[in-house]
Amino acid sequence: QKEVEQNSGPLSVPEGAIASLNCTYSDRGSQSFFWYRQYSGKSPELIMSIYSNGDKEDGRFTAQLNKASQYVSLLIRDSQPSDSATYLCAVPYSGAGSYQLTFGKGTKLSVIP
């Protein structure tokens, strides 16, 4: 059973602070990791992909991957109220000639003005 674990939150941070979202996964063979942002009532939006150990930065977002610890995180710098959403960690695994995403339950982030 492939498992992806996230703290469900809610995680509340003040505007301008760094929000840190964490995710652990069970499959040691996993090679790719995705973060999706989902606003209430909307569909998931892919915001970060990471494939190699270390950090990957994109604007205010930084994804961090540690395969040895089976841990991936998302940092949001200078958090804005518009960042308030649920963040889903997703890890693919192969099955029947295609691959499927296993999602964590999501962490709800609230950025307080």
Partner 1 sequence: DTEVTQTPKHLVMGMTNKKSLKCEQHMGHRAMYWYKQKAKKPPELMFVYSYEKLSINESVPSRFSPECPNSSLLNLHLHALQPEDSALYLCASSQEPHWDISYEQYFGPGTRLTVT
Residue 106 within binding range of partner 1, rule CB under 8 A: yes
Parallel/antiparallel/unpaired status of strands 45-50 and 85-95: unpaired
Q: Which of 9, 13, 101, 110 binds partner 1 (CB under 8 A)?
A: 101
Q: Does 39 bind partner 1 (CB under 8 A)?
A: no
Give the shortest CB-10-to-partner 1 separation in angstroms: 11
- What three-state secondary structure class fits 60? coil
Residue in 3, 18, 49, 57 binding partner 1, rule: CB under 8 A: 49
Burial class (CB in 10 A: 0-12, 13-18, 19+), 92: middle
